[in-house]
Chain A
Amino acid sequence: MRRWFIPGVALTLFLPMVSHAKIDLSGAVRNDAVFYGADEQTLFLNILENKLILQRSTKDWKFYSDLRFYLYYGEGVETPAGWPEELEYITASLPRAFVRYYSNIGDFTLGKTYVNFGIMGPFNIFELDPNVNFSDLNYTKEGVVAITYEAPLGDVSGVKAYVSPESRDTDMSAGASVYTNWGAFDVGLVTGRTGRDLNFAGVYFKGDAEVELQGACAIWADDAFAECHVKAIAGADYGLFDTQLLFSVQYLYNDCPVRPAAGGTSTTVLSTAVSTGFSDRHYLYASAAYTPDEFFRAGVDAFVNAADNSCLIVPAATWVLADGLNLTLLAAWPTGTGDTQFSKAAIGNYAALVRVEAAL
């Protein structure tokens, strides 16, 4: 159990009680049945996730917490290091738990929060620990314990900053960003520093030039500027047939030193929380999505590591069965060989997932 978890749960449960607040409760239950095709057998892993969101909003402050419980079951279970080998175990996480206070000089947030610099998407060069859940690209990203400050500089402009203390799992980090809307584009400047002797500064934009375009570029350097590296993304979205068919493409250039990629075990590629370092030099993300109406959508995502010529192809289809009740069928096929990032040796021959999700 990570160090922040107990204080986080305490904050989640204690604060509403002492404030005698009228708490808004929402959430979801999600069950993922995952099948992994290894060389001679198929492994089964079931992940039952219970998401509870507690929230209270007033005109002066807001409390928000997102508490998750996971029940892992099946022969494909990979227990965390140090845990006994079992077919079933329960774990929990707290991706968000914060209090936000709206003062006259700006909004202060204290607690565990996602520091959202840059552009949402599969590759965000300003993320300190880039990660993606291949079975759900919109899956909640893990926050960091921090104090943040955000103040408007007009209706669509503002400045934000954060400081995150060092913990057992993360280094101390701090950053600041100023953003605005320029013509049809959102643009921003970002700078920051981590305790790893890493500093970064860059710019991002996202907007409309008939095609939706997005891009970002940052320089990462050590304190002495002895090592200086560039990270950049460029992407575009385009829709056909009145956007029922939507294409997206994004390229990541990563000049930073190669670090060992996280993940890469046979039963984690479609697990609830996958941490994959996009640590090679060239990556490409491409997707095609068909959404004829609110009741059905189908599409395919592809992650290409162009440095080692491996690729992960993820086709998926979702049916909305009723208000708040969804059924998703999804598969993942790695194409790489040998010890490449998206290889059969690292991930398995294939993975398939059946997901049922109900909103509370």
Chain B
Amino acid sequence: MRHVITLSLLLYLLPAHSRAAETASDIIRKVDGNQVFSTETFKAKMVIAKDKRTLTKTFYGYGQKQDMKSFMEFTNPEDKGVKYLKLDDELWIYFPDADDVMKISGHMLRQGMMGSDISYEDMLENDSIEEKYDSRLLEDKQVDGRECYVVELQAKKPDVTYDKQVIVVDKVWYIPLEIELYARGGRLLKTMKQSEVQKLGERFVPMRITIRDMRRRNSQTVVTFEEIAFDGKVPAKVFTKGYLKR
């Protein structure tokens, strides 16, 4: 019995990376594992800032992990009733004034969603990190006093939005707290910070995401989730083109 207690204390006191020599693949698998849910419902606020000016958008939505489906509707006055439907890697937008649906494709996908630092391509990112990237463990670092792994991800194929990513993963939550996204030439395109992590059931969820598109001067977008729930009910037929007109 004494041996068990000693071993437990030892495990607790030792640095995390000494406890279990996790490989980059192990870490990425756990990060991917944090995304396991059947459905999600959320209500969020997006603040787009440039210099001292800000624009605020509010929206709610639903997601379904199977078949990578999601639906969003904007509720702020300027964009009220604009809806997005994402089915796998296809995207449609509904415009209430026209009562019509438009498919977004090709180069248009690189535009910022509602003018934000988040592109439509970012929205369409579906697959697990492990499927698309080779991973390599770099030297650990601390973020806001929390011990983190640093993992470099290199795209396996050229058809991904970002050729390289460097993600800083919390050693307890397995949530990336910082992400750097690079183009093929090595240029830093975007940075992302995830904070205000809350435990919802067995899952850790960042409630605030800050994205900066480095190609836009003095610009950043902050998404704050006001409500988020997993594995609940979503309205029937919500992930269909026909529902956009409702």
What does DSSP make chain A's interface, helix, strand, loop or mixed?
A: strand
Shortest distance between the CB of A12 and any CB in chain B (Å): 16
B39 interface residue (CB < 8 Å to A): no
A128 lies within 8 A of chain B by Cβ: no
Would A324 and B106 be within 8 Å (CB), given that A156-B90, A181-B90, A292-B216 are in contact? no
Interface size bucket, B side?
35 or more
B239 to chain A, nearest CB (A): 6
Of A78-86, A238-246, A252-260, A303-311, the stretch lying at the interface with chain B is A238-246
Determine whether B3 belongs to the interface, using a CB cutoff of 8 Å to chain A. Answer: no
> When chains A and B are docked, how far (Å) is the Cα of A120 from the Cα of B100?
8
Q: Does A62 contact B (CB under 8 A)?
A: yes
| A291 CB contacts on chain B under 8 angstroms | 111, 115
- Candidates B56, B97, B103; contact of A206 at CB < 8 Å: B103
Q: Is A107 an interface residue (CB 8 A)?
A: yes
- Among residues 190 to 215 in chain B, which have CB atoms less than 8 Å away from a CB atom of chain A? 215
From DSSP, what is the main secondary structure of chain B's interface residues? mixed
- Chain A: number of interface residues, binned into ranges: 35 or more
Contacting pair A155 B87 (CB below 8 A) = yes
Nearest Cβ on chain A to B63's Cβ, whole angstroms: 15
A242 to B117 Cα, complex, angstroms:
12
Q: Give the residues in chain B near A138, CB-CB below 8 Å.
A: 95, 97-98
Does any Cβ of B come within 8 Å of A359's Cβ?
yes
Q: Is A21 an interface residue (CB 8 A)?
A: no
Contact B216 A293 (CB under 8 A): yes
Q: Which residues of B contact A154 (CB under 8 A)?
A: 240
A265 at the interface (CB under 8 A from B): no
- Complex CA gap A211/B106 in Å reads 6
Instruction: Answer yes or no: A227 CB below 8 A from chain B CBs.
Output: no
19 pairs from A and B in contact (CB 8 Å cutoff): A102-B246, A138-B95, A141-B98, A150-B245, A155-B87, A156-B240, A206-B103, A207-B103, A210-B106, A211-B106, A212-B108, A243-B107, A243-B110, A243-B111, A292-B216, A294-B55, A295-B53, A323-B76, A323-B77
Interface residues of chain A, those whose CB is within 8 Å of chain B, are 26, 55, 57, 59, 62, 64, 66, 96, 100, 102, 107, 113-114, 116, 120, 138, 140-141, 150-152, 154-158, 181, 184, 186, 206-213, 237-239, 241-244, 246, 291-295, 320, 322-324, 359-360
